[in-house]
Amino acid sequence: QLQLQESGPGLVKPSETLSLTCTVSGGSISSRNYYWVWIRQPPGKGLEWIGSIFYSGTTYYNPSLKSRVTISVDTPKNQFSLKLSSVTAADTAVYYCARRIAVAGIIDDWGQGTLVTVSS
Amino acid sequence: DIQMTQSPSTLSASVGDRVTITCRASQSISSWLAWYQQKPGKAPKLLIYKASSLESGVPSRFSGSGSGTEFTLTISSLQPDDFATYYCQQYNGYSLTFGGGTKVEIK
């Protein structure tokens, strides 16, 4: 049974960098069958794809966030990470890590999500 | 970028009602569309993929249809457990886009 768990600070100051890590257990992050994804959801609002990474390190980002986002993978630790720079209150959201089936494109497993608040 | 527009944004219905939610893509996405159900405080759950394929374990009262730019999610007989928010999502290529969501409320 695959499990994804987000970790990182729940409070970030404006203009600083938000950093989260997703630890994958019960499966290998090095599988060619999957992309690893970050998605966020502001309180009371809809879902927004942030970006995806393949085990090789190939990344794809949402154009609206691309200038501020970096996603990386650590295969020995079975983890992938998100960095979002120059945050504002608009970046306050529940951040989910998830697994996307590479060919089918669907997201079949999600972490529980972690709330990150941007505030001074 | 492909934009996804869902309607309605809120839907009030009673147990036993037939419910239909619509999702429109800004350009053709063939059948590369999924539907998710989300309950408060929980991650979304996959219901339908490739526009009309039912995910394993999902009740048969859920069905999806459409291709190109117009898609629908239908719940044939609404059950108490179905009151939730539903999202469509396109996956035509490497990017993903979600619709704005449809909240199904108790009438």
C-alpha span between B1 and B65 (Å, rounded): 23
C-alpha span between A83 and A71 (Å, rounded): 6
Please report which confidence band the pLDDT of residue B1 belongs to, taking 50, 70 and 90 as the band edges: confident
User: What does pLDDT average to in each consecutive run of 10 residues of chain A (120 residues)?
Assistant: 96 98 96 96 97 95 96 97 98 98 90 97
Read off the amino acid at residue A33.
N
Residue in B closest to A105 by C-alpha: B91
Read off the amino acid at residue A75.
T
Asked if the model's pLDDT at residue B99 lies above 90, the reply is yes
Interface probe, candidates B96, B97, B102, B103, chain A, greatest A C-beta count within 10 A: B96
Asked if the model's pLDDT at residue B79 lies above 80, the reply is yes
Interface probe, candidates A4, A5, A66, A107, chain B, greatest B C-beta count within 10 A: A107
Residues of B in contact with A62 (CB under 8 A): 95
Contact between residue A57 and residue A40 where contact means Cβ atoms under 8 Å apart: no
Shortest distance between the Cα of B43 and any Cα of chain A, in A, equals 6
